[in-house]
Structure formats: C-alpha cells, structure tokens
Structure 1
Amino acid sequence: MYRSIRTAGHGLKWTAPRWVRECRRGIVTDADVTQSRDYCLNQLKHSDYETYMIRQFVPRSANDAYHALRTLNLELARLPETVSNPTIGRLRIQFWRDTIERVFAGSPPREPIAILLHSAIAQLKSRAGDGSASSLKFWLLRFLKTRERHMENRPFVSLAALEDYSENTYATLMYMTLAFMPMRSVHMDHLASHIGKACGIVATLRGIPVLAAPSTPIQVPSGANLRSTRSPALLLPLDVMADAGLKEEDVFRMGPNAEGLQDAVFHVATRANDHLITAREMLKNLRLGKGPDHDYEHEGEAEHVYSSAAHNVETAGSDIKRGFGVLLEAVAAGDYLKRLENANFDPFKVKKSWKLPWSLWQALRHEQI
C-alpha cells in the first residue's frame, strides 16, 4: 500500500513506495544487473546462437556491453515481425531513442537492455574516465536511425546502399564493442568496417527465406491474433536484381525456383567475401608491421578522427591480440558464405552449421579469421 505522512503546515504528503523512488532516481542494484544479463544471454541463446557463441571470446571489459548491444540489435531486427504496423515500430524506435538519452543521463528505465548498458557505461567510466564514453551515444543514435530508415523492409537501391547500411549497423556494433574495451585504433576500426560490412550483407542474405515468405499473425497479450501488415519482402539490391533479371514477384511466388535468384545472390555474396578477404590481408600485413595497403574510407568522419598514436603500425599487433575476440564476427560470416556456396547460392537450401564451434576454436588457436 502507498503510505502518507503528516508534515507540519502541509497536511498529508504522499510518499511513494521504495521501488518507485528507486526507479525515479535511476538506482540500479547488482541484482538488477544480474537479472538483465541473464535476460540478454537467454535472448541471444535462443534467437542468435552464433552471437551467443562468440560472446565468450569478447574481451571481458566489453562483455556486458556486447550482450546488451547484440540483444538490442536482435530486438530491432525483428521489429517488423513483432509489431502490427510500421507506426508502432517507429514508436518503439522512439522509445529506444529516449531510453538511450536516459541511460547516458544516469537514470535508465526498468528495461533489461537499458540496465545492462547503463552498468557497462558506468564500468567504462570508472576504468577510463568520463571522456571514454563520449563516442558511444553518437554510435547508438546512428545505429537506431539506420534501423528506423530500413524498418519497412524495402529493397536496397544498390549494392553500395547495402554496404552503407551494413557500415551503420553491424560495423557500428563492432566500433562500440571496441570503444567499451576501451580501444582507440584506426587499424582495428578499419578491420571492423570490412568485417561489419560482410556481416551486414550476410544478414541480408540469411533473411531472404524468412522475409520472402508470407507474414505470420501476431499474438497480443489477450491471446487474440492480429494480422501483420508486413508484406513479403526481398532486400537484394535493385541494381543487382536488374542485372540478373530477377523479379521480386517471382521470388514471392516461386521461391528458390525464381529465375535469376542464384545469380543475384552470388553477386551479393561475392561482395561480402571480398570484404572478408580484404580484412584477412590487412590482418596479415599489420602483423608483419606493414600498413593496410589501402586507406580507411571513413577516417575523418564523425567519431573517426584519430591521434597519431592510433595510426602506429608498430602497436597494431598488440591491439589485434587484445581485441581479437571482436574480430571473430568474420568467422561466423565466412561460415555462412561457405554453406551458401555449397548450396549453389540458393539461400533456401542452406543447411544449419555444426562446424562453427570448431571454426571459432581454430581461429583463436591460429589467430586468423
């Protein structure tokens, strides 16, 4: 029950219960953090098992941040499937935008991802000072803005547009993980950019069988089913589909038998593989004390301004060793591309992976991606 107390000259004054006062003050207990961590791990384990496997190799200093960020990515990725219309989806995005503001203000709402992210930021500041978290808010808001822009599952205009999307989502997730360590290295960010672009392209290819199928009803708390307003979608770049003679309607009607589908998928998958090859060559050169052989295209952009020390090739080897777990995203992307190739670039026939644990172990053992 709510309590009231009598104060001199003011009659009765309402006093909120303790849990309400703590929520208002943004007080987060160790038990809250533990429960939030368990929630995020459970979400990843059941809905993003590759990330769940990789997370154990992410540097401990960035572990909670990785759990929170990847669970947020999971929630936003499935928004079109879990809301009844795009307007509700945009309201959900606005909720997360407001939540991020509150997290950085030190008063997170009682939401597991927000609580774990708040805790990770507080730990980062205690280790490296208040300025260490300065770039994170920028990355998070850019990530949300990009997800919102593509929430309606419209095809990408071009392959370059798909790469931009991947840079602003999956590569950005990697930038944030590195920032939580904290690590400020142009070479690690450069590697993260190529690997993140590959991961974003792979995620688009993975989604073809799911998004091209008719949407399923959405169950509301009352138990009733609402018909989803989502129409079947094919996110392959329009310029690639045009070159392959592929039509969206053919995929919706004929699935894997649509003419030109495998050619279009091959073209897009090749670009993802090119980014992985580039990252592997960079890794090799940096370990040998050489430069990456090409410029980082995003250097000089917002939050990509580096000190001279961050360009030091001589220290790149130690940075790679310290943050190698973050780069393991490349192993999962490469594993999918191999399975896609074995299926003759038919995304509807890609088999589940059982070799990924072995591939991750081999990557760690030899420090290769």
Structure 2
Amino acid sequence: MSARARAPALDADADAEACAELLRRGDPDRLRTALAAGDKAPRLLGLYAFNLEVARIASAAREPILAQMRLQWWRDALERLHAGGAAAGHPALAPLAEAMAAARLDRALFDRYLDARALDPEGPSFAEEGALHAYLADTGGALMRLATRALLDGADADALAVADEAAAHMGWASAAANLTRALPALYARGAEPLPLDAPADRAAMAEGRTPPALRPALAALARAGLGRLARARALRRRVPRAAAPAFLAGWEAERILRAAARPDYDMFSGHQASEFRRRGSLALRALTGLW
C-alpha cells in the first residue's frame, strides 16, 4: 500500500489520539468508557471531545458574546461536516465525520445539543422544572443518543429505536447526576440551576453548607433521574450489546442520584467515592455489559 493510501488512516489515528489526550486531561471517565468500544472507540472519542470543548465554553469565555461566537464556530463546523466538507480546525471533527458517514448521526440532535448549551453562558438558570428537564434531555440525553447511534451502524430499525429510547432516559439520568455534582461550581459562578421559590442562600454555600431550601429540589431531581434510569434498564435486554460502551458513560449516575435523594444530602461531599471504588465499578460494568 502506498504512503498516499495510508495517510487518511494515519490522520484519523492522530486525531483520535489527540481527542483521547483532551479527554485524559478534561474528562477521564468518558475516556475510559470510550476505549471499551474497541475499533469504534475513535467515534466516541471524537464525540466526547466535542462535548468537552462545548461544555467548557461557558467557564472559559470571559464574556457571553465570546461564548456564543465559539458555539457558532461549532455549529458551522458541524454544518460543514454534514454537507461533506472538510474536517478541519479541531481533532474531534475527523472522527465525527467518520461517525456521521458510517452511522448517519442525526443533525437535529447536534442542533438540540448546541441550542441547550447556548444557555450555559448565562448560568444555566431555570425558573421552571420543565425548562431544567428539557435542558437535561437536550444535553446528556442527546449526547448519549448520538453515542449509541455511533456504535450501531448496521443495526435494524427496531433495535435502533429501542436503543435510542433507552439512551434518551439513561442520558437524562446521567446529566442529572452530573448537574448535581457540578452544583457548587455552578452556584459559585452565579447560576440558578435548580428552580426554587427564592434565590439560593449563597452565603451558606460560600461556607460549604447545603442550604436546607435546596434539598427538596435536589431530591425531586434525583428521584426523576432514578426513574429515568429504571426506564432505561427495563429496555436493557433489547438493546444490542454493541451499544454498551455508550451507556457506560452513565455508570455513576445511580450512586450520585441515590445520595442526592436523601434528606441530609451534602452537595459538597455527599456524592464522593474513592477512586479505587469508582474504577472497580466501571471495570465490572465494562466486563459484564450491565449498565
């Protein structure tokens, strides 16, 4: 085989490795789950690197207008990929282009994801429970649906539909858990992520205490997440095993949500677990395929 013929594969490998390095520094948990996908791991590496870059725009940009400009850059890049254009400008784009070509990833899901992320520079803040639930569906839910589809090219329509439904529920639960874990940082930057009757007690949070008024909203979110998790698992036997690495991204959701549902939950430390326990839990789930 000529050097010219080998170049695209080498470029793809270099892009996947660059994505892995981004995740190694910024989202090591998703890196571990992506690697469980074997020869399709680059698809998840690209998708998760894209997610990492977009999710941290709000904290990296000094002004909301700069954040919106960066989001627009990603919108334009994805539009170019869907039109068959060049995968240039970020290492996530080449693996994403390959996944789009092989698995026909739905552009509408990317649009929903980016529309939801456009709320991040202003918080995100939600006055109503329905708005928060929609945000979780369009961030974590959409991301897991895309990850699942990236692994199931060639699956029949029925299997895809079941996997998509399960991913929507599991992704929602995972996003709820991630939001719960991020609450101290979100409130510290001025967000109001949980719908409350009155603004959260930031003085208490500045002292490392969970305001009592926050706990009912946290418990309601946790119960909703656990319900979604149960609905996803009810479909597990009908989801192709090839999709398991995508679902592994939600491996810690149950532990975090069960902790948050307790009336004495401490959002500063109540969800923590040892690294040994965390890695052991993920390894067991990866081995058994039971998410």
Q: List alignment gaps of at least 5 residues for structure 1.
A: 1-27, 125-131, 214-230, 288-315
Matched, 1:345 2:250: no
Amino acid at match of 1:65: R
Decide whether the 8 Å contact of 1:171 with 1:195 is kept in 2. Answer: yes
- Report the secondary structure of 2:125's partner residue: coil
Matched, 1:258 2:211: yes
| d(CA) in 2 for partners of 1:259, 1:109 | 49
Q: Deviations over 1:13-38 (max 9, x none)?
A: xxxxxxxxxxxxxxx83343222212
- 2:233 maps to which of 271, 280, 291: 280
Q: Deviations over 1:220-275 (max 9, x none)?
A: xxxxxxxxxxx422311x2xx22xx6625445544424232333322222211121
Aligned to 1:86: 64
| d(CA) in 2 for partners of 1:195, 1:97 | 25
| d(CA) in 1 for partners of 2:29, 2:261 | 19
> Offset at 1:333?
1.4
Aligned to 1:360: 282
Query: Equivalent residues in 2 for 1:160-179 (5 A)?
Result: 160-179=130-149
Q: Report the TM-score when normalising by structure 1.
A: 0.67
Matched, 1:334 2:254: yes
Aligned to 1:14: none
Matched, 1:145 2:67: no
Aligned to 2:180: 205
Aligned length: 277
| d(CA) in 2 for partners of 1:51, 1:77 | 14
Q: Deviations over 1:70-100 (max 9, x none)?
A: 1111111111111110001111011111111
Decide whether the 8 Å contact of 1:261 with 1:346 is kept in 2. Answer: no
Decide whether the 8 Å contact of 1:41 with 1:52 is kept in 2. Answer: yes
- 2:11 maps to which of 32, 35, 39: 32
Aligned to 2:3: none
Amino acid at match of 1:265: L
Decide whether the 8 Å contact of 1:251 with 1:261 is kept in 2. Answer: no
| d(CA) in 2 for partners of 1:192, 1:66 | 14
> Offset at 1:172?
1.2
| d(CA) in 1 for partners of 2:263, 2:284 | 24
| d(CA) in 1 for partners of 2:38, 2:50 | 19
Which stretch of the first structure deviates more once superposed, 329-338 or 156-165?
Answer: 329-338
Aligned to 2:55: 77
Aligned to 1:45: 24
Amino acid at match of 1:263: P
Amino acid at match of 1:101: E
Cα RMSD after superposing both structures: 2.6
Aligned to 1:234: 192
Over 3 Å counting, the alpha-carbon distance change for 1:83 and 1:334 in structure 2 is same
Decide whether the 8 Å contact of 2:176 with 2:222 is kept in 1. Answer: yes
Over 3 Å counting, the alpha-carbon distance change for 1:252 and 1:346 in structure 2 is closer
| d(CA) in 1 for partners of 2:107, 2:210 | 44
Q: Percent identity?
A: 22
Q: Deviations over 1:295-342 (max 9, x none)?
A: xxxxxxxxxxxxxxxxxxxxx3xx432322222233221233355568
Decide whether the 8 Å contact of 2:23 with 2:31 is kept in 1. Answer: yes
| d(CA) in 2 for partners of 1:65, 1:251 | 43
Over 3 Å counting, the alpha-carbon distance change for 1:272 and 1:170 in structure 2 is same
Q: Return the index of the structure with the highest Cα Rg.
A: 1
- Report the secondary structure of 1:199's partner residue: helix
More helix by share: 2
> Offset at 1:364?
4.0
